[in-house]
């Protein structure tokens, strides 16, 4: 058996996703209103100690506090690390305003699957945010898998990256953005 | 043959533009080496020992003569005037300049070609039987399915960054000529009792450092679900495949670690969720894809007519008879035969062709085979639809261009990777070994007497030359900076696929022809009439070979 997604608090803490001041949402550059909480801060986080405002919690923290945070539903998001699969959020996804998926390295493609499943299987309608080390050359793929929000690491002139969202204007296979694969669209024609 | 429509053209043009931008950013220092690497790999571009290497995709090995001519032009304009056919039915250029690659891709795009996903950790070019559509033992032509898989996998947004490269092969015939059990996914087309078309699905095969023969996880997958099932497999792999160690990242390691049953259970569970979704291959979609592979305009010949002509010709000309015997393949249509053009004359790296030869191939295809050619995974070229009456003329022309070496399927028709002459990963050279063996065994009568025999050579354990699945496999190994060669026996790539076993300690390059000679002697002494090497080996085992090869001189 491969190791199942490691959910214990002992999870080794690698490079954590950043939380830049600006990001791209729905094709426009906007201010970041959310505060992403990295894993591994020593303090015990409790529902009460959690600062007010919009926060994105690591999955393990969110799972532990979910019940207690019911009253703040609209301002609590959650982020998945790359070894955490979408089914760990499962049906709860539909209630969340924001889910982020971390790309510890841009070559780690697990977040693409997580995104598609959140959108297509678990009915997630909110902001789906890519965080971590993804790169602009992946924007069309990320978008197709259901991401609508892109928090690039570090300072970047985001305006200059927008063009890459249109690298491909059509696609062969079905994905979140395309209900029918090309072979079915063509066969209809 | 699949023809692009406006959407295909647009997608490929957009891809070229994207890569042009990426190359410019890289050259301007805006894209790091690390970031550029996977992007260039997904466009077929390696950086090698002597120069970059560009791998051009030939979907399921099929090309038309216009495309072949364009390749000839590209090798002349951007390279050193030759190209290389690979075991994945693609074409490689060994000497392009990095700066020229966007232009090369633009030239390819004009003739409906590209280098998309010929490398990198994504779903690679789907491969199949070079005799697809013409073989007598074929149940169903695999090419329409290959094309659907190509479309599904091209720029697949979810699977462009898998743990590792991913290869799919499809076989539609009884004999597996596509080595499907040596692929991450092997698809065997089958029919059920009701005569419906479906697929037997193998997973977890692969060569390299840990060679494994794939196992069947489903015996009958209905036709309509092909792509959703593939998607389920790749999705499970994308989520659970190891990413901490590139040598353990292939799906074969996951399947082995989990057990094929548990893996299959997970795939089925995933598939249940998506099987009735948009990915379904409706009858219209299948029909649409089949329309690209219509039967060519065959003439009608009376049964046996062409064969009579050939018999006469062959009776008069022994050289022609030999070629006919080894380099042609029976055709399901009366009066036709498939021809393999050998790229393996002695002294030429297996799979290498010059620009002139490429043009000659295009011309022969136009003249004799409806303008189409196929690349084989043994690194040769097939003209699939030749009239028997024209075989003699074709043979004479092929001879002029150096393609008619009558050795297909024999010892000297070896698969061989570029090895230390080109490849920066090599432990040893492989081309000179191939040549030395070809020189020693240049007696055609002896070769024919040995019968079908696969000799495969790789310069390192990455196994580009498929050494694990050669009846005789040769692997370059490094011992304290010196080149040595390990011999393996008993591998095979067909429906009875098996992995070779190591014979014993390795040999120096000089010892190789001699060693192969001893192995063949043991075979000849032990074989039953007409038995093939692999069958004799399976009957007598490794030991007699070992004893002879390592015998102390007395
Ligand atoms: C000179 C440039 C080449 C380089 C740098 C290269 C690199 C590699 C590497 C690193 C692997 C191992 C991947 C793994 O772990 O499975 C591999 C495997 C392979 N390569 Fe190459 N290769 C080159 C040329 C070729 C050529 C010319 C061919 C065909 C003739 C080829 C066909 C293959 C095949 C069939 C495998 C086996 C993979 C499997 O099924 O497990 N490669 N190559
Ligand atoms: S087997 Fe090794 S030496 Fe040969 S081409 Fe592949 S990586 Fe290079």
Q: How many CA atoms lie within 13 A of B284 on its CB side?
A: 10
Chain A nearest-CA distance from B199, in A, is 19
Let me know: does B129 contact B135? Beta carbons within 8 Å.
Answer: yes
Q: Which of A4 and B331 is assigned the larger pLDDT?
A: B331
Instruction: Give mean pLDDT, residues B477-493.
Output: 96
Residue A63 pLDDT level (bands cut at 50, 70, 90): very high
A64-77: pLDDT as tens digits: 999 999 999 999 99
What is the residue with the minimal CA distance to atom 38 of ligand 1?
B207
Residue B52 pLDDT level (bands cut at 50, 70, 90): confident
Burial category of A185 from C-beta neighbours within 10 Å (exposed 0-12, middle 13-18, buried 19 and up): middle
Average pLDDT, chain B: 95
Residue A127, strand partner residues: A98
- What is chain B's alpha carbon radius of gyration, rounded to the nearest angstrom? 23
Strands (DSSP E) along A32-176, which ranges? 35-36, 55-58, 76-80, 98-103, 127-132, 149-152
Residue B46 pLDDT level (bands cut at 50, 70, 90): confident
Cβ neighbours of A1 in B, within 8 Å:
257-258, 262
Q: How far is CA B116 from CA B104, B160, B255, B413, B517, in A?
A: 13, 11, 27, 29, 42
Residue-wise DSSP of B386-443: EEGGGHHHHHHHHHHTT---S-TTSTTS-EE--GGGT-TT-SS--HHHHHHHHHHT--
Instruction: Give mean pLDDT, residues B462-487.
Output: 96
Residue-level pLDDT at B353: 95
Instruction: Give mean pLDDT, residues A84-104.
Output: 97
Model-level ipTM above the cut of 0.95 = no
Is B152 close to A1, i.e. CB distance below 8 A?
no
Q: Is the pLDDT of residue A1 over 90?
A: no
**SS3 label, residue A28:** strand
> What are the backbone dihedrals phi and psi of residue B309, each rounded to the nearest 5 degrees, phi first?
-60, -45
B346 lines ligand 2 (CB under 6 A): no
- The count of CB pairs under 8 A between chains A and B is 121
Q: Is the pLDDT of residue B328 over 90?
A: yes
Residue-level pLDDT at A43: 60
B73-125: pLDDT as tens digits: 999 999 999 999 998 999 999 889 999 999 999 999 999 999 999 999 999 99
Residue-level pLDDT at B24: 94
Let me know: does B222 contact B198? Beta carbons within 8 Å.
Answer: yes
What is the residue with the minimal CA distance to atom 2 of ligand 2?
B460
Residue-level pLDDT at A12: 56
Q: Which of A30 and B552 is assigned the larger pLDDT?
A: A30
Let me know: does B113 contact B2? Beta carbons within 8 Å.
Answer: no
Q: How far is CA B13 from CA B34, B195, B261, B267, B377, in A?
A: 25, 42, 43, 35, 28
Average pLDDT, chain A: 89
B52 lines ligand 1 (CB under 6 A): no
Give the ranges where B463-532 is alpha helix by DSSP (H): 512-526
> Considering only CA atoms, which of A121, A164, A125 is closest in space to residue A143?
A164
Chain B nearest-CA distance from A148, in A, is 14
Give the ranges where B275-354 is alpha helix by DSSP (H): 283-290, 305-316, 318-327
Q: How many CA atoms lie within 13 A of B220 on its CB side?
A: 9
Residue with tokens 């037997």: B200
Is B14 close to A180, i.e. CB distance below 8 A?
no
Cβ neighbours of A85 in B, within 8 Å:
239
Mutate to test the pocket of ligand 2, among B47, B379, B419 (most ligand atoms within 8 A of CB): B419
Laid out side by side, the sheet with B197-203 consists of B127-128, B168-171, B185-191, B197-203, B215-222
Cβ neighbours of B227 in A, within 8 Å:
181
State whether the Cα torsion B209-B210-B215-B217 is positive or negative: negative
B377-393: pLDDT as tens digits: 999 999 999 999 999 99
Is B279 close to A145, i.e. CB distance below 8 A?
no
Of A10-14, B280-284, B387-391, B524-528, least confident by mean pLDDT is A10-14
Residue-level pLDDT at A45: 77
Q: Does A109 touch chain B (CB under 8 A)?
A: yes
Residue-level pLDDT at A47: 76
Residue B49 pLDDT level (bands cut at 50, 70, 90): low
Residue in B14, B161, B262 nearest the CB of A109: B161
State whether the Cα torsion B108-B402-B466-B132 is positive or negative: positive
Angle among Cα B191, B196, B200 to the nearest 5 degrees reads 40
Q: Are strands A55-58 and A76-80 parallel, antiparallel or unpaired?
A: parallel
B261-298: pLDDT as tens digits: 999 999 999 999 999 999 999 999 999 999 999 999 99
Q: Does A182 touch chain B (CB under 8 A)?
A: yes
Q: Is the pLDDT of residue B554 over 60?
A: no
Cβ neighbours of A138 in B, within 8 Å:
160-161
B172-229: pLDDT as tens digits: 999 999 999 999 999 999 999 999 999 999 999 999 999 999 999 999 999 999 999 9
Is A174 close to B279, i.e. CB distance below 8 A?
yes
Q: How far is CA A166 from CA A140, B90, B259, B486, in A?
A: 7, 29, 42, 51
Residue-level pLDDT at A46: 80
Spatial distance between the Cα atoms of B294 and A174, rounded to a whole number of angstroms:
27
Q: Does A179 touch chain B (CB under 8 A)?
A: yes
Let me know: does B227 contact B199? Beta carbons within 8 Å.
Answer: no
Q: Looking only at Cα atoms, what is the longest distance across chain B?
A: 73
Residue with tokens 């050359």: A137
């Amino acid at each position: 058996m491969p190791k199942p997604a490691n959910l214990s608090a002992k999870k080794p803490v690698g490079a954590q996703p950043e939380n830049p001041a600006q990001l791209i949402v729905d094709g426009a550059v906007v201010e970041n209103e959310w505060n992403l909480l990295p894993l591994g801060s020593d303090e015990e986080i409790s529902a009460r100690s959690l600062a007010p405002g919009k926060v994105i919690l690591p999955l393990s923290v969110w799972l532990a506090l979910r019940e207690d945070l019911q009253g703040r539903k609209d301002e609590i998001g959650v982020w998945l690390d790359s070894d955490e699969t979408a089914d760990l959020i499962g049906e709860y996804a539909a209630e969340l305003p924001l889910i982020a998926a971390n790309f510890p390295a841009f070559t780690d493609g697990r977040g693409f699957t997580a995104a598609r499943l959140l959108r297509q299987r678990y009915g997630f309608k909110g902001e789906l945010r890519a965080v971590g080390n993804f790169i602009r050359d992946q924007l069309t793929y990320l978008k197709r898998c259901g991401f609508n929000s892109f928090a690039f690491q570090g300072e970047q002139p985001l305006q200059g990256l927008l063009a890459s969202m249109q690298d491909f204007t059509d696609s062969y296979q079905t994905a979140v953005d395309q209900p029918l694969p090309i072979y079915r669209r063509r066969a209809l024609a | 043959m699949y023809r692009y429509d406006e959407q295909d053209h647009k997608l490929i043009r957009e891809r070229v533009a994207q890569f042009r931008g990426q190359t410019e950013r890289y050259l301007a220092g805006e894209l790091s080496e690390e970031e550029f690497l996977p992007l260039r790999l997904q466009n077929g571009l390696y950086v090698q020992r002597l120069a970059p290497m560009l791998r051009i995709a030939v979907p399921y090995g099929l090309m038309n003569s216009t495309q072949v001519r364009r390749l000839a032009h590209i090798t002349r304009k951007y390279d050193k005037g030759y190209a290389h056919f690979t075991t994945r039915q693609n074409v490689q250029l060994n000497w392009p300049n990095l700066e020229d690659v966007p232009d090369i891709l633009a030239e390819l795009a004009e003739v409906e070609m590209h280098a998309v996903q010929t490398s990198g950790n994504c779903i690679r070019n789907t491969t199949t039987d070079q005799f697809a559509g013409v073989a007598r033992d074929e149940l169903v032509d695999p090419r329409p399915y290959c094309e659907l898989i190509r479309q599904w996998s091209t720029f697949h947004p979810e699977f462009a960054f898998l743990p590792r490269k991913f290869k799919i092969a499809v076989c539609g015939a009884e004999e597996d000529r596509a080595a499907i059990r040596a692929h991450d996914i092997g698809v065997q087309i089958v029919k059920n009792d009701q005569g419906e078309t479906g697929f037997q699905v193998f997973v977890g095969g692969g060569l390299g450092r840990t060679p494994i023969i794939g196992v069947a996880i489903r015996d009958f997958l209905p036709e309509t679900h092909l792509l959703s099932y593939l998607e389920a497999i790749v999705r499970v792999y994308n989520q659970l495949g190891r990413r901490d160690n590139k040598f353990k990242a292939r799906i074969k390691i996951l399947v082995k670690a989990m057990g094929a049953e548990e893996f299959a259970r997970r795939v089925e569970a995933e598939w249940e969720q998506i099987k009735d979704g948009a990915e379904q291959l409706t009858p219209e979609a299948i029909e649409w894809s089949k329309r690209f592979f219509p039967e060519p305009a065959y003439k009608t010949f009376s049964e046996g007519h062409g064969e009579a002509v050939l018999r006469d010709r062959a009776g008069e000309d022994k050289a022609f008879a030999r070629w006919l015997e080894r380099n042609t393949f029976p055709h399901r249509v009366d009066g036709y035969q498939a021809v393999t053009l050998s790229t393996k004359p002695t002294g030429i790296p297996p799979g290498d062709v010059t620009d002139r030869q490429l043009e000659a191939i295009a011309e022969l295809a136009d003249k004799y085979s409806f303008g189409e050619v196929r690349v084989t995974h043994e690194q040769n070229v097939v003209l699939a639809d030749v009239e028997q009456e024209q075989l003699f003329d074709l043979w004479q022309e092929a001879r002029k261009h150096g393609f008619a070496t009558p050795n297909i399927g024999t010892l000297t028709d070896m698969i061989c990777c570029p090895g230390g002459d080109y490849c920066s990963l090599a432990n040893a050279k492989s081309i000179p070994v191939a040549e030395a063996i070809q020189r020693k065994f240049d007696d055609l009568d002896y070769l024919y007497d040995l019968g079908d025999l696969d000799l495969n050579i790789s310069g390192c354990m990455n196994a580009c030359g498929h050494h694990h699945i050669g009846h005789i496999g040769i692997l370059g190994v490094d011992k304290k900076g010196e080149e040595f060669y390990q011999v393996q026996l008993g591998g095979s790539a067909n429906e009875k696929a098996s992995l070779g076993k190591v014979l014993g300690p390795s040999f120096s390059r000089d010892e190789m022809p001699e060693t192969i000679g001893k192995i063949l002697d043991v075979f000849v002494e032990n074989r039953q009439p007409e038995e093939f090497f692999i069958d004799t080996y399976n009957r007598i085992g490794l030991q007699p070979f070992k004893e002879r090869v390592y015998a102390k001189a007395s």
